[in-house]
Amino acid sequence: MTIVAQQTFDRSNNTFELDLHGCSMEEGRTVAGHRIRECFRYGIEELRIIYGSPDRAEGTLRQAVQEAIRGASSCVAACSFRDSYGMFAAEGGSTELRVKLASNLRPQAQDQKMVFVAFTSRYDTEHHRHESYYPLRSGGRN
């Protein structure tokens, strides 16, 4: 079984999770940047971005996520590195990043119209493209 990019919204905790497995670096940078801005727009408090490898090499998803955060810095209050168990980790051993979003004094309503843009997942051969994500519509899909 191949792990592929996934996204979920936990309304009860007002958090969003984005798993970038199956994305290229460019796709990861683009979708992470979109999700940061979208979460801010809807007043979501935390975004968990899973990139899956502590690899610090050039061209990794980890690097792409860090670039996306720099590009959306006005929407970000703080970040913390985590390991695969969700525990605090040193930057060098992290597999995910928790992004605390800045407070939005005028967020858009979290209702059935709430939408997160579609994205491709280059290395996901079964699904390849994720449709726009409407987490609060009945029967909604990732």
pLDDT digits (tens, 9 = 90+) for 57-113: 556 888 899 999 999 999 999 999 888 878 888 877 788 999 999 999 999 999 999
User: What percent of the chain stands above pLDDT 90?
Assistant: 56
- Spatial CB neighbours of 52, under 8 Å, sequence gap ≥ 6: 3, 19, 20, 21, 61, 95, 96
- Spatial CB neighbours of 113, under 8 Å, sequence gap ≥ 6: 134
Supply the pLDDT for residue 140. 47
Global pTM reads 0.86
Q: Where are the domains of the chain?
A: 6-130
Options 3.30.70.20, 3.30.1370.110, 3.30.2420.10, 3.30.1330.90; CATH for 6-130 is 3.30.1370.110
- Mean pLDDT across the chain, nearest whole number? 86
